[in-house]
Chain A
Amino acid sequence: MTLALTVGALTAGAVHLLLQRDLLRVVLGAVLLSHAVNLLLFASGGVLRRDEPLGADLDPATTADPLPQAFVLTAIVIAFAITIYLLVLAVTGRRQDVDGSDDDGREEAA
């Protein structure tokens, strides 16, 4: 239940931040969202078995499921790569946060 509440709180924060204008806040929202989903992945392996899956003699009844841990590890690096790229975009397109000039897309062809 604690995990569900945490995932819920993180998702709520993510949605709030994703709807902001400033791209930096949007990036933070995306980070929160990927945190939430990583926790969800952990939860999918069962929450009651807490022992780390390391060592020779493992008891399947108490050892945590290693597969979701591998999923999370993969997802973390993917999200990390995209976050870095988004942060660069947040800097290069900074002006668009402020003036919000848009939007018929014709000014570039003017």
Chain B
Amino acid sequence: MTPDALPLLVAVPLVAAGVALLPVRGGTGARALLMTLLTANLAAAVALVAATRDSSVLVHQVGGWDAGIAIPLAADALSALVMTVAALLTLACSAFALASGTGRLRLFPPFVLVLTAGVNGALLTADLFNLFVFIEVMLLPSYGLLVLARERRGTDASVRGSRLYVVFNLVVSTVLLAGVALTYGVTGTVNLAALAGAATDDPVVAAAVGMCLVALAMKAAVVPVHGWLARAYPSTSPAVTALFSGLHTKVAIYAIYRVYAVVFEGDQRYLWIGLLVFSATMVVGVLGAAGEQRMRSVLAFHMVSQIGYILLGVALFTPAGLTAGIFYLLHHMVVKASLFLSTGAIETRYGTDVLDDLRPRVRREPVLAAAFGVAALSLAGLPPFSGFVAKLSLVMAALDAGQVAVVVAALAVSLVTLLSMLKLVNAVFAPPLVSGAAAPVPVRADDRPAGDGTAGGAARGTARGDGGDGSGGGVGVATRTATARTSEVTWTRRSRAALAAPAVALAAVTVVLGLGAQGLLDLAGVAADGLLDTTTYVTAVTGR
């Protein structure tokens, strides 16, 4: 992959999004285009990893202007790795969305394509202001997905979630922009490479760029500011929650790693703030998870907790710490998406994610239970899954740095993680085996939460790509009519397989990453070296 191909990673999805918007009846074409492009995106990201694994940095100055004047797009091992995993997740979650019905929204393919363009842009850019712009490019289609995804029009719950999410993100983006303004005011540039090391010399620059870091930490749902995520993420459809779980917060994490490494050059003076805040994130997140009663709320709080783990890597800022943090980031994106997809498949089939309501209804789901079990054990950090490698290397790195309190917190949090995962397993994936216990109640067709049914709503549903096709494979959509409301949803073998496959595939990835961790650890090590010594990155971007 040549550096001059980098803008294509942003341009192609944007053009395709425009094409996917063309009003073609049926929408099959747009969905085929979406899946083709997401596959191509994954292939391009893998090619990028291959091109940067020798710790080289690919740089393209957009428009061919001089370095420092043009917007630089730069790819090193870290951005290539994050982009690969993000591309994999987008592909898996889109496949799940198509199987579960959300993907049949007419606007789904263009929204996801713009989202992909924004993610790629935010991962590639080496310029603070354009980071802000690409984050907005990423967020705007997300707002649409968030509110539309549930039953093709906003419901009370998804509108409530959107109001919180949009207001929060607007305010935080404005804070990020204020940080960018202050950075420009005190240094005269927003080019990351030109800012290299600026914050170590001058506390005023440190304060300005620190404001950007605070805004990014808020976007990553670090603890004092985590409530929005736990409220907003469960409010939309399962497919969209799974999609968001690997993109927005993780791009913010990537940006924190990048900015702290380049602009602060890993300044040891401010690391204690990170250790304190991120440890608190681990603990508070997992306690919130243990107290929740809905599948997706549990998983959302777990996300907060795991974000604390990932960011610990940058708060240690040692070779081992950064490698562990990057490995944890990549592992966690896969595992969290797998968890959201397997519980999402349950929710799509049984119509609710409240544990007490699910317990008597769920029948045996061996495939989903296996996928969930693997991902849950990986999240808690048990061998032989990738979570074990991630936690072990993080704990070793923290011990090396002498942070015993952090190690104790990290290990204790793992126990509580396991506890709340077992709660989910008990309620949903392991129905009582004793014959005296309540037998599963047959699933009814009216498995949509009240208020979601189109019959009661005054608002018109958003146009769908194609109507319910009348077959049982239509994921319960075809059973909307009054007569069908009382009949049991019939599930074809195909629709079951399509719902379960993405979760199973990602669970398989975590097994592979656990058994063959060395390959990814080496790549994470290369990425960490790029953060520890930013000379290659800075020289490549400034062109000197």
Contacts and interface: CB of A to CB of B under 8 A. Distances in A.
B537 interface: no
Contacts of B452: 108
A14 to B, nearest CB: 9
Interface of B: 129, 133, 136, 140, 143, 147, 154-157, 159-160, 162-163, 166-167, 170-171, 173-174, 177-178, 180-182, 184-185, 231, 234-235, 293-294, 297, 352-354, 357, 449-452, 459
Contact-size category for A: 35 or more
Contacts of A106: 293-294, 354
A104 B291 CA distance: 12
**Shortest 6 CB-CB distances between A and B: which pairs?**
A44-B185, A93-B159, A41-B181, A108-B157, A44-B184, A40-B181
A82 interface: yes
Interface string A74-97: 110011011101100110110110
B163 A89 contact: yes
Contacts of B166: 82, 85-86, 89
A35 B247 CA distance: 29
Dominant secondary structure of chain A at its interface with chain B: helix
Contact of B171 (A30, A41, A104): A30
17 contacts: A18-B167, A26-B167, A30-B167, A37-B177, A40-B181, A41-B184, A45-B184, A71-B184, A74-B129, A86-B166, A89-B162, A96-B163, A104-B293, A105-B235, A107-B450, A109-B294, A109-B450
A68 interface: yes
A61 interface: no
A75 B449 contact: no
Contacts of B170: 30, 34, 79, 82-83, 86
Contact of A86 (B154, B167, B234, B354): B167
Given A71-B129, A109-B352, A89 B140 contact: no
A37 B178 contact: yes
A106 to B, nearest CB: 6
Contact of B181 (A71, A93, A107): A71
A107 B173 CA distance: 32
A90 B170 CA distance: 15
A52 to B, nearest CB: 19
A64 interface: no
Given A74-B133, A82-B170, A106-B354, A23 B451 contact: no
B450 A37 contact: no
Given A30-B174, A82-B140, A108 B451 contact: yes
A75 B177 contact: yes
A87 B91 CA distance: 32
